Structure 1
Amino acid sequence: MPPIVRCPAEPYGGGWHGAPDDAHRPDARVDWLRFAPVQPVFRARAAQRLAVLAYHGVTDPRSFGAQLDRLRRLATPVSLGAVLQAVTERRPLPARSVLVTFDDADRSVLTHALPALNARGIPAAAFVISELIGTERPFWWHEADFLARHGGRARSLDCGHPSQLLPRLKAMPDPDRRRSLHELRVSADRRPPRQEQLSPADLRALRDGGVAIGNHTQGHPCLGRCDDATVRAEITGAHEDLTRWLGEPPIAFAYPDGGHDPRAEAVLQELGYRLGFLSDHRLGPRLPSHPLQISRLQVDSTTSTRRFDTILSGLEPAYLRWRGQPMA
């Protein structure tokens, strides 16, 4: 059995599951941080750190464009290749370096993010759930939410309020999660709507447009709830798929549960991966000391400009840790 670890709570500002919910955004609660007396101190310190931004989809192209414009003014956007070069040559990245990344890689990365990035000459990286590529299947967390709201039931999910569904699923051992999803599918009154996913050709278009493609496992389980064989299969299966589609092996991985898993790191080392990314809402060193454990900042395309600044400076992450905000 794998060690018992905590799966991440639903992250603030959209999180790694589902569409953003404006009614639950913390922007209004933390916007004031931009005017805090310590913000200039944090901004100065951040200039000597690496900020890796972890987006999901782009639901607000206009706001996302404004964020990219701000990056061009305040930061030095870098590519995944530049981070790899820094690690290889043991030479720190430039001051104020920022890498833009996307997890899950829904179609908005192609339709909204890529044009905005290209218009500003900003590179990025997208981490792909391989079993969804070329399909019309929804992300499993979207599917579970829809099924539960349309009569779906599972023996292990009799937990009352619908808001508890995803935390319960994420906390289950992976076989139980899969079994519960099957029960939801069998018992629901309706099937979830189709969701067009990226195709292999779309992945190549992203790569050719300056968005590096990385591994995000086959099915996006919580790795800490998987046995050793499943951890290996999830990583190697996606690795083989991406190598076949792209004609070259990926060299970067994003942990789908946000937190580091030593068994996953061992598999990544065997496969020749050079970079691995967490979702811990932290800045990292300009020369990553643990290349397979690089910190990232959680951000969303709808994040307000004021909050975006405090995320980049590291002030909001520090404040949320001080407040005891759950993080991956």
Structure 2
Amino acid sequence: MKTANNNHIIVNYHYIEDPSPEWGGIHPCPTAEFEKQIKYLAENYKIVSVDEVYFAAKKKKNGHFAAISFDDGLKDQYANALPILEKYGATAIFFPITSTFDGNVPGTHKLHILLSKFSAQLLIDRFNKEEIGFAPIPTDKRMTNERQLYSDIPTVNLKETLLSIPPHVKDSFLDKTFKALGLDEKKIAKELFMSEEEIKSLKAKGFAIGSHTHGHYSLSSLDEKSIKEEIRTSKKILGELLGEFPTAFTYPHGIRNEKMTLYLENEGFKIGFSIEARPVMATDDPFFIPRLDTNDLMLNEPFKNDTIKHAQ
């Protein structure tokens, strides 16, 4: 893994928990695998902040530098990842979705939960029946080969459709489906996401906190006013909670609007992160810095000269 091309890396995580049949729609990094990865990074890299990795790459600094980030503010990150980070003396940055503090479950996570309880085919059938005016979701051929490479055809096409339709249509469909299938949103939000007190606790322990927007919408699907509101609302809530405004930002689904850099700069942000799976390079845009995913480390395989795989 430690080659000249991988001197500067940021590794991003979402769910940190052992797989469970009850939550089959969630694909977590098992806790033991997470510890294996953190141990490897601690032994082979200098673990620093995301800013330090970016500037080390920018200056082509010698050495091996790694940063660790967590998207979404999930409770299992606090329960399972935090003790391991502290065990290895590893710093990290967490990017919570601020609407979850009020008991909201973002659409992405609603879909994870629905796919844990029901088949993708059932959900597609509901969509094709209820959302008249949109092309039916196909189940015989993939709609894209750019993302969701490890999902089955119905699942990837359902996810891609919900990413591409107007946010109010997506929210309406998921809300109706959640209620029709008897799921309690506020109860699930409390179980799934960190509380404001847990976010404050992370800050007090020396971990960094950034913004992942307020509602976790794909920003490319929003108009200019809504994009700015998503950024400002999250910034305001985190600023009031932590006593300082965030300066780091991650794009929901890794997708940004071409004007996003200007919006972020105007709100005082200094750095932004994508989900493009590769090491950080000297030429990278400071508002679209790549991050590896836990799956890209491939630490469950015997070590090779370069165990980072690149997204296709």
TM-score range (shorter-chain normalised) is 0.7 to 0.9
In the TM superposition, 1:1-328 aligns within 5 A as 43-47=2-6, 49-59=7-17, 60-80=30-50, 82-83=52-53, 91-92=59-60, 95-133=63-101, 135=103, 137-144=104-111, 146-147=113-114, 149=118, 153-154=126-127, 155-156=130-131, 158-159=136-137, 161=139, 162-163=154-155, 164-185=157-178, 188-192=180-184, 194-195=188-189, 196=191, 197-285=193-281, 289-300=284-295, 304-306=299-301, 313=306, 315-317=308-310, 320=311, 325=312
Q: Using a 3 Å threshold, how does the CA distance of structure 1 residues 171 and 264 change in structure 2: closer, same or farther?
A: same
Q: Using a 3 Å threshold, how does the CA distance of structure 1 residues 146 and 291 change in structure 2: closer, same or farther?
A: closer
After TM superposition, the runs of 4+ consecutive aligned structure 1 residues lying more than 6 A away are none
Does the residue aligned with 1:244 lie in a helix, a strand or coil? helix
TM-score under structure 2 length normalisation: 0.76
Confirm or deny: 8 A CA contact 1:78 1:123 kept in the other structure: yes
Distance in 1 between residues matched to 2:300 and 2:73, nearest whole Å: 23
Q: Using a 3 Å threshold, how does the CA distance of structure 1 residues 93 and 261 change in structure 2: closer, same or farther?
A: farther
Does the residue aligned with 2:233 lie in a helix, a strand or coil? helix
Distance in 2 between residues matched to 1:232 and 1:75, nearest whole Å: 37
Q: Using a 3 Å threshold, how does the CA distance of structure 1 residues 247 and 71 change in structure 2: closer, same or farther?
A: same
User: Which whole-Å deviations, capped at 9, do the CAs of 1:293-317 have from their partners, x for residues lacking one?
Assistant: 111112159954338x67x947510
Distance in 2 between residues matched to 1:277 and 1:54, nearest whole Å: 10
Distance in 1 between residues matched to 2:268 and 2:201, nearest whole Å: 24
Confirm or deny: 8 A CA contact 2:297 2:309 kept in the other structure: no
Q: Using a 3 Å threshold, how does the CA distance of structure 1 residues 99 and 313 change in structure 2: closer, same or farther?
A: farther
Unaligned runs of at least 5 residues, structure 2:
18-29, 140-153
Unaligned runs of at least 5 residues, structure 1:
1-41
Which range moves more in the overlay, 95-104 or 191-200? 191-200
Distance in 2 between residues matched to 1:145 and 1:289, nearest whole Å: 32
Q: CA deviation at 1:118?
A: 0.9
Q: Which has the higher contact order (CA 8 A, sep 6+)?
A: 1
Q: CA deviation at 1:147?
A: 4.8
Q: Using a 3 Å threshold, how does the CA distance of structure 1 residues 143 and 168 change in structure 2: closer, same or farther?
A: same
TM-score under structure 1 length normalisation: 0.72
Percent identity (aligned): 24
Does the residue aligned with 1:133 lie in a helix, a strand or coil? helix
Give the number of equivalent residue pairs. Answer: 270
Does the residue aligned with 2:8 lie in a helix, a strand or coil? strand
The root-mean-square deviation of aligned C-alpha atoms, in Å, is 3.0
Amino acid at match of 1:194: I
Amino acid at match of 1:118: E
Distance in 2 between residues matched to 1:208 and 1:202, nearest whole Å: 10
User: Which whole-Å deviations, capped at 9, do the CAs of 1:16-64 have from their partners, x for residues lacking one?
Assistant: xxxxxxxxxxxxxxxxxxxxxxxxxx742235x4201111121222221
Confirm or deny: 8 A CA contact 1:76 1:96 kept in the other structure: yes
Amino acid at match of 2:69: T
Does the residue aligned with 2:208 lie in a helix, a strand or coil? strand
Q: Using a 3 Å threshold, how does the CA distance of structure 1 residues 50 and 122 change in structure 2: closer, same or farther?
A: same
